[in-house]
Amino acid sequence: MSYIEYKGFSQIMKRYQLSDKEKLEKVLLETGISRSELARRLEVDYKTVYRWLDKEVKPHPAQAQDIDQLFKEYVDLREIVLQLQNKLKSPMHILKGNQVIREKFLLEMTYHSNAIEGSRMTVKETQRAFDGKQVRGKEMFEVLEVINHKNALQFLLENIRSGFKIDSNYIFQLHRTVMYNFNNKLPGKYRTGHVNLLNTEKALPSAQEVPLRMGKLIKNINNYGKDAISKIARDHYEFEAIHPFFDGNGRVGRLIMITQLLIKGFAPAIVQVEDRYKYYMALSKADFGNFENMVQVVCDSIVKGYRLLTGSIK
């Protein structure tokens, strides 16, 4: 990236990193709601909103999080992602060609994706597992989950290319790698029975329905249309709603999403464990046909991917 390109990229990132006041003003502008309604949605009184907007009073950190959530709910982040895509060309080649960034990507993605699924491994412990060192106080299966996910990411980067088409064999290999040595989870095979899922009210399809549902998904998974981001977000929801495997669905689903994003020239979506509640909430809303939050969560995670590619992720 040239200096001029990097400067333009940084300016877009700076616009995304708005102050709390700027986020509130943007919500008011985009929605047309009153300050009183804004206060109601944030569960504060009118005077509090007045102080934030007119007296330069900074919100409490917990209130700042509520403001950020409201901002992401009502302000479409796709425009920002598309601007970043235009400024930073071919994230796929950056990950393939820059070892430092690739290693950071492997670590961040493995840590967060496993942590979302309940892993107790810290970032430092994840790195120790990468380095083949002993991780004290952790079970062997926890270390194996780390190594498996790293290997799946490496398989992903080694195989994708411009024009790459996702098929069932690719998905099976991702699952086979993520579930390596977990033979009771049927690595690389669809589930043969029912699974319980805590984060949804929608009934999962039966094991007999899974191949048909997955066949329909895979048939259209490489067709992105004019709004690739929304299509990828919907595909991710559909995969998780099918839940085709006994275990590893979340990790494999996020790997598929990263594959799609890189193919289409976007940064990888880094869904952080801190955003787990918002991520599950977006999936739950999609159960009832509301995909807006799903798209926003994906966009926010893509922005985090762009930060990683430029070395600015925290």
pLDDT of res. 4: 41
Tokens for 179, please give them.
């579930």
CA distance 229 to 82: 9
pLDDT of res. 81: 93
Exposed (0-12), middle (13-18) or buried (19+): which is 226, by Cβ within 10 Å? exposed
pLDDT of res. 312: 55
- Rg over CA atoms, the chain: 20
CA distance 248 to 187: 9
Residue 223 gets the label, from left (phi > 0), alpha (psi -120 to 50) or beta, of: beta
Tokens for 172, please give them.
């099976």
Backbone angles phi, psi at 190, to 5 degrees: -65, 155
**Predicted confidence pLDDT, tens digits, the chain (314 residues):** 544 454 556 666 665 667 899 889 989 998 999 999 999 999 999 999 999 999 989 999 999 989 988 887 788 899 889 989 998 888 999 999 999 999 999 999 999 999 999 999 999 999 999 999 999 999 999 999 999 999 999 999 999 999 999 999 999 999 999 999 999 999 999 999 998 877 667 889 999 999 999 999 999 999 999 999 999 999 999 999 999 999 999 999 999 999 999 999 999 999 999 999 989 999 999 999 999 999 999 999 999 999 999 875 54
CB atoms within 10 A of CB 228: 19
| pTM given for the model | 0.87
> Please, which residues have CB within 8 angstroms of residue 211's CB and are 6 or more apart in sequence?
190
Backbone angles phi, psi at 134, to 5 degrees: -70, 140
CB atoms within 10 A of CB 70: 18
Helical pair 168-178 and 140-159, crossing angle rounded to 10 deg? 150
pLDDT of res. 12: 65
Structural domains of the chain sorted by starting position, each given as residue range(s) with its CATH number in brackets: 1-75 (1.10.260), 91-309 (1.10.3290.10)
Contact 278, 120 (CB under 8 A): no
pLDDT of res. 3: 41
> Please, which residues have CB within 8 angstroms of residue 183's CB and are 6 or more apart in sequence?
none
Contact 110, 149 (CB under 8 A): yes
pLDDT of res. 152: 98
